[in-house]
Amino acid sequence: MPTSLADTGLPGSLIEQLILKILYSRGDTVAGDVSRAVGLTFHLLDPIIDRFKHEHLIQVKNSVGYGAVSSMLSLTETGRRVARDHLEKNLYTGPAPVPVKQYSAAVEAQRLPDCWLSPERLATAYSHMVISDNVLQQIGPAVNAGKSFLIYGQPGNGKTYTAEAIANIHTSDVFLPYAIECQGNIIQLYDPVYHHTVGDRVHEDEAVVSNELLYDRRWVRCRRPFIVTGGELALPMLDLGYDPVSKIYEAPFQLKANNGTYLIDDFGRQKATTAEILNRWMIPIERRVDYLSFSTGGKMAVPFETFLIFSTNQSPEKIGDEAFLRRIQYKMLLRNPDEDEFRRIFARVCDEKGIHAETRIIDRFISTYYRNTGKPFRRCHPRDILSQAIECINFRRLPYELTDELLDQAFAGCFLSDVELSEPCSDPALTL
């Protein structure tokens, strides 16, 4: 908790502007609530508010308790005019931002220590999946290192599901600022879509009673971020996004994912080419620092403490050259499951869906459609086939149990037939 305005690392003018903008947007507000909105203790803001009173920018309408902290504040007409001038610069009225230097130090301090991940902790995170020890032995060192990881293999084998399970690993929480300040610019970092706050109701209640804040509320306590983007990712999303209306910058995904994980799923199908995205990551991966550009031409150096995961159906040779692949520390080919693993997945999905399947029925199904035909097993097949079988049961009002007929129908509905149409389609509207 800062004990002086100098400890905040911010120019006093920025805090002054923020107080006036908050009062302008909220209207009449208790002084203690202004303090909580700024995220700093009242005794730091009291001299500023007192000076604003003498300058006839703020007036006290009444008091809801004892002391200056309970004063009901409102802007004078002069104060409203000054506040509007400040809002022309930017519309930010959230908690006071954190200087990029303080933010960088905090990211470094919240790095996970060496050997933080144990085999037992990893196994617990993946207990909801059927996964071999060999795969866990490949995932473990990559997650523990927290650098970069490429997961590749045939579609339908659960690469995304496997990567997303990393979010289940129990770790410490992190503090991240609501916003960052650099060169007079404000970058909004906290994003409720991706940052999941950790409850702190006891401290909140104590703060209300004492009219003080117990720690620096410019920061919010969250679970370590886990951010996923897919085919929608475009190159501009990896740099600061400037809003010309609010005049505030939006942090890119990798900055929001600091001290956490950033999964680029279905790599190779983004709006930007793989070469463009890979070139964008070259320096950050190697030097653990990223450079972001302001619309005015300036740059900001920020830490790159993000566990970067690429998941792709393409072969590594098609997504990047040898130089880049060498910079990705860990690679894992997620192979097709063998028959034993496929059976265990099938049984797990049956349990989850609450449907019984006799061993004889599963044996015939695997023998007919896989062993005799050479069709490769995929981890998604049990889920897809059983879902269709259950839909058939619901539609036909059948008993809730698997039969040979249901599995045959579900399999036919899941996969394209190798048999060609004997007659061409006569409807021109349906002809490809």
pLDDT at 418: 61
> Is pLDDT of 111 > 50?
yes
Q: What CATH number corresponds to the domain at position 27?
A: 1.10.10.10
Bridge partners of 333, per DSSP, are 152
Backbone angles phi, psi at 317, to 5 degrees: -65, -25
pLDDT at 251: 97
Q: What is the mean pLDDT of residues 201-217?
A: 52
With respect to residue 248, please indicate whether it lies within any of the assigned structural domains: yes
* Terminal Cα distance for the chain, rounded: 67
pLDDT-wise least confident of 116-120, 314-318, 332-336, 341-345:
314-318
Please give the residue that has the higher pLDDT: either 35 or 426. 35
Tell me the residue range of the domain where 73 lies. Answer: 5-95
Structure tokens at 129: 């999946």
> Is pLDDT of 417 > 80?
no
Structure tokens at 253: 């995904």
In the chain, what are the helix, strand and coil shares in percent, each to the nearest 5? Answer: 45, 15, 35
pLDDT band for position 1 (cuts 50, 70, 90): confident
pLDDT band for position 411 (cuts 50, 70, 90): very high
Percentage of residues in the chain having pLDDT higher than 70: 93
58, 204, 253, 324 from 230: Cα distances, Å? 49, 37, 12, 20
Using alpha carbons, select from 268, 38, 310 the residue that is nearest to residue 163. 310
pLDDT band for position 66 (cuts 50, 70, 90): confident
Residue pLDDT, tens place only, 349-392: 999 999 998 999 999 999 999 999 999 999 999 999 999 999 99
pLDDT at 200: 57
> Is pLDDT of 57 > 50?
yes
With respect to residue 266, please indicate whether it lies within any of the assigned structural domains: yes
Return the number of other C-beta atoms located less than 10 Å from residue 205's C-beta. Answer: 10
pLDDT at 335: 93
- Counting the structural domains of the chain, the total is 3
Residue pLDDT, tens place only, 263-321: 999 988 888 888 888 888 888 988 999 999 999 889 999 999 999 999 999 888 888 77
> Is pLDDT of 430 > 50?
no
Residue pLDDT, tens place only, 132-172: 999 999 999 999 999 899 999 999 999 999 999 999 999 99
294 and 322 fall within a common domain: yes
Gyration radius of the chain over CA positions: 28
Packed helices 42-54 and 12-26: angle between N→C axes, nearest 10 degrees: 80
214 and 315 fall within a common domain: yes
Q: What CATH number corresponds to the domain at position 219?
A: 3.40.50.300
pLDDT band for position 202 (cuts 50, 70, 90): very low
> Is pLDDT of 429 > 90?
no
Percentage of residues in the chain having pLDDT higher than 90: 76
Structure tokens at 153: 């293999």
With respect to residue 283, please indicate whether it lies within any of the assigned structural domains: yes
With respect to residue 376, please indicate whether it lies within any of the assigned structural domains: yes
With respect to residue 299, please indicate whether it lies within any of the assigned structural domains: yes
- Helix-then-strand count for the chain, H and E: 17, 17
With respect to residue 116, please indicate whether it lies within any of the assigned structural domains: no
> Is pLDDT of 214 > 70?
no
Average pLDDT, the chain: 89
Q: What is the mean pLDDT of residues 222-239?
A: 92
79 and 152 fall within a common domain: no
170 and 247 fall within a common domain: yes
pLDDT band for position 201 (cuts 50, 70, 90): very low
* Alpha helix positions (H), 261-321: 274-287, 316-319
Whole-prediction pTM value?
A: 0.86
With respect to residue 280, please indicate whether it lies within any of the assigned structural domains: yes
Asked which of 284, 315, 333 is the last residue of a domain, the reply is 333
With respect to residue 239, please indicate whether it lies within any of the assigned structural domains: yes
pLDDT-wise least confident of 95-99, 301-305, 415-419:
415-419
Amino acid, single-letter form, for residue 135:
V
